[in-house]
A and B are shown apart, each in its own frame.
Chain A
């Protein structure tokens, strides 16, 4: 008798545990979507769709060039996916590597920035008018990597809008999108013109992106990027140094000296600023001023003592 009475209690207990596990499963399966439900990022509208983002249907496996071309064209480059194939397509891997996706826009005077692996950041960028290139795993059983462009979302229906593969407007639930996106560690990037800093960029990440842009060799674009950085983070020492160096390389020595001088007002003891100002002044033929500046940088404990000595010797040699 007693055994019969026990049975429903057992069943109830199992059911309860299954419910608990299912709920716990949800939070671990799509942790960020669950967080979004209660904690929608402040200042982000509930519904955004960037309809102006162009659409390029992809050729076989070439989702990388297609997705990148959409983002780059939207950012102002005149480009078609075919011309990007030679820049990001890796024949032996039948695909495109993320790092190459980040490197390619720099060759066209655009800045590429990898986003933090955060759902809210993706939404913020889309809301700020920047379509986001994402890496998804769209395979059913086995991994199949795929690049697509997020160009909108709707909170009410829980939908992400993508330009993906052959679909101009793919609608995907927040949860399903997170599953596909999670597999690649939430990899996402935006492409912007150099004078437009992405909404979620931090000072150090933007400056890192500019250093990489400078490597690509587009000096005018890099100058624009550093100007934007200095406008947004006026206290930034690396931004001032970077801008001055780019101006120096372009031959605008007086402007470079001006940038360094105004940075020196904020950090008067910076050996880097003093050294570079002295070098710039000397290159401009103002050796006496340069010598006065480099003397202030005389600090044997500085990691740049060697550079400072070299600069001073150079100036003294030029004065002879």
Chain B
């Protein structure tokens, strides 16, 4: 039971730390984003965006980015961008090379070898 309590505390701390570090609102002032958007629920938007931000940062880390750098990289994205990235970070085309391309090349080469050369 004690362990379970500790775990929960840890999780709450981690989430609140991340949530706080991603907030940018100023006390008392209504933001320009809300002036543009009109009537979205700001709290809900902020909560979702925070969750997405931690998610994207974690995914960047999983893709080989240094943890500190990952947080910095997510910090300068807009909410819409974070949302988009949270959904398709795996599928989005990355300029450079496509791994599936190599898989397909190897597969085709193997098939050609199997049917044409190896008799």
User: In angstroms, how far is the closest chain A Cβ from the Cβ of B99?
Assistant: 7
- Determine chain A's interface SS by DSSP, over half rule: helix
> Total A-B residue pairs with C-beta atoms closer than 8 Å?
159
Beta-carbon nearest neighbor of B64 in chain A: A91
B24: chain A residues within 8 A (beta carbon): 214-215
Beyond A95-B96, A145-B95, is A139–B101 a contact (Cβ under 8 Å)?
A: yes
A280 proximity list for chain B (CB < 8 A): 29
**Residue in chain A with minimal CB distance to B28:** A279
**B95 A238 Cβ-Cβ under 8 A:** no
A248 to B117 Cα, complex, angstroms: 74
Tell me whether A63 and B30 are in contact (CB under 8 A).
Answer: no
Query: Which chain B residues lie closer than 8 Å to A144 at the CB level?
Result: 97-98, 101
What is the size category of the interface that chain B forms with chain A? 35 or more
- Residue A8 interfacial (CB < 8 Å): no
Residues of A within 8 A of B (CB): 61-64, 67, 86-88, 90-104, 106-107, 135, 137, 139, 142-147, 184, 204, 207-208, 210-217, 237-239, 241-242, 245, 248-249, 272, 275-276, 279-280, 283, 303-304, 307, 310-311, 314
Q: List 27 A-B contacts (CB under 8 A).
A: A61-B96, A87-B72, A90-B60, A90-B94, A94-B97, A95-B97, A101-B95, A102-B77, A103-B73, A107-B76, A137-B93, A142-B104, A144-B97, A145-B94, A145-B95, A212-B77, A213-B76, A216-B75, A216-B76, A238-B36, A241-B31, A245-B26, A272-B34, A276-B29, A303-B39, A310-B28, A314-B28
Chain B residues close to A by CB (< 8 Å): 24, 26, 28-36, 38-39, 60, 62-66, 69, 72-73, 75-78, 80-81, 84-85, 89, 92-101, 104-105
